[in-house]
Amino acid sequence: MLAGQPIIILRENVERTRGFEAQRSNIMAAKAIAAAVRTTLGPRGMDKMLVSSSGDVVITNDGATILHEMSVQHPGGKLIVEVAETQDGEVGDGTTTATVLVGSLMEEAERLLAQEVHPTIIANGYQLGMEKALAILDELAISVGFGDRDDLLKIADTAMTGKSIEAVKDKVAGIVVDAVLQVASKTDQGTYVVDEDDIKIRMQVGDSMHDAELIRGVVIDKQRVFEQMPEKVRDAKVALLALPLEVTKTQVKSKIKITSSDQMKAFSEQERESLRKLADQIVASGANVVLCQKGIADAVQYFLAKHGIYAVEDVNENDMKFAAKALCGTIVNKPEELNAATLGHAEKAGEVPDTDLTVISGCDNPKAVTILLRGTSQLLLDELERAVYDATRVVQDAIEDGKFVVGGGSVETELQMRIRDYAATVGGRVQLAIEAFANSFEIIPRTLAENSGFDTIDKVVDMRKVHADGAKYAGLNVYTGEVVDMREAGVIEPLRVKTQAIKSATETAMLLVRVDDMMVTQTGKPGPQ
């Protein structure tokens, strides 16, 4: 200490922001990011066009994609982007909801801080409010069974509504539900689990979106290796080989000395005979399709084509493993290990005309499937892929948890009203924080009304009145402006999506509101960028 002044030792180029300024900086960042994606919320939300420095264009209303493409420099803002990416990775949907909720929670925290409510009290109130919200969500949840196809279709439909591919969402929703049901496996406890890696999404530019299909098998980005091989094979018996079908180098350094033309001829014949033996072993196994992880020599290609066998070389390891699961076959390391038990089986295999794709489909009870999407442009295909990914994940969530909740701002309105009632039973300053937590949920129905072109105050008041009368599933019909039963309207989503969004948003807000000293090693003052 020197003349009563504290000495603070920091590294060079460290900007320090303290007290309310640090809190205000985080609040501004959260509000700015929430505002950036808020207009995309709901079926009538708008799209964003993002152009990178290299000229790549992305058009989407998917919250995770928008935030991923944005260049966020503020440390608090980066945390919110991570929340959205985590939400997308964990449940596959609800990223925009989580981001908008963070912004609303921070806005309510700003109002409390201005009233000199301590950040610890705000965080405590938010924690109590979140626990109450999760308990209320469990009460509002509706059960869905593995065989409730209609509800699963509605869940997939809700996830895709509002995207640029609504013209085909009915067909794609059916494909998604069939894909998830196909790969779901039952546990000893009677529940179901789904490995998302068992569903692959492949894209093909050129055809209409209406030509999307579910392949009960595998799609490989390769053509047959030899033009004289058949283009299509029926009753496919697939050999899965991890070894190269060609003469390989020895493991040790060696030399062969040839001194005459006869020796050269004998050497060539022996090499050709070795390659013929490889082909004969495949033929003897009964296989009529070969997927090889390595290369296939010209001679082997010729012998396989002579016996009407369709072959693909240089298949990557992931595709090989996926094919083994889809075709119920076994990857072998030696051709002599091939037999009826190791071969995969499918109804047909062959090339897709005018493409580089090989499709093996019609597998009996496949444990892995492929969704093949088609579209007239890559931009459209990318958005279709994002919609299918979201729909696949939410159907998976619903099957695994067996519960869903209704949408249309219904859940948020019910949570707001019931948490406010709960706050009155707590008392003290923490009551103010719980009430602020409850108020933050109003942002969802208000945004839905705003993005649909309706008066936000009128619609929010109408929803509160209907919920006060006991209609706990009432939500906003964004097309007519009426407050209707969302359960009957078919606007539903998995419980896990809503639960994760509330958890992520609340925990992030609690973390940011408690920051009162921010030291950033960079030039320039930290602020929303």
**390 is a catalytic site residue:** yes
Q: Write out the two tokens for 170.
A: 């009915």
**Locus of tokens 């990011």:** 33
Q: Work out whether the CA dihedral 502, 504, 507, 510 comes out positive or negative.
A: negative
DSSP string, 320-383: HHHHHHHHT--EESSGGG--TTT-EEEEEEEEPTTSS-EEEE--SS-SSEEEEEEESSHHHHHH
Phi-psi region of 397 (alpha: psi -120 to 50; beta: other; left: phi over 0): alpha
Catalytic one of 17, 40, 60, 62: 62
**517 is a catalytic site residue:** no
User: What gap in Å lies between CA 287 and CA 305, rounded to an integer?
Assistant: 12
**86 is a catalytic site residue:** no
Q: Write out the two tokens for 267.
A: 């050497």
User: What gap in Å lies between CA 76 and CA 73, rounded to an integer?
Assistant: 9
Contact between 327 and 366 (Cβ < 8 Å): yes
By the 10 Å C-beta count (0-12 exposed, 13-18 middle, 19+ buried), 67 is classed as: buried
**355 is a catalytic site residue:** no
Residue 431 phi, psi (nearest 5) = -60, -40
Catalytic one of 157, 319, 382, 390: 390
- Output helix, strand, coil percentages for the chain, rounded to the nearest 5: 50, 15, 35
Q: Which of 181, 207, 175, 177 is nearest to 194 (CA)?
A: 181
User: What gap in Å lies between CA 458 and CA 436, rounded to an integer?
Assistant: 21
Catalytic one of 17, 40, 95, 508: 95
Catalytic one of 40, 65, 96, 447: 96
The residues annotated with a catalytic role in the active site are 62, 95-96, 390
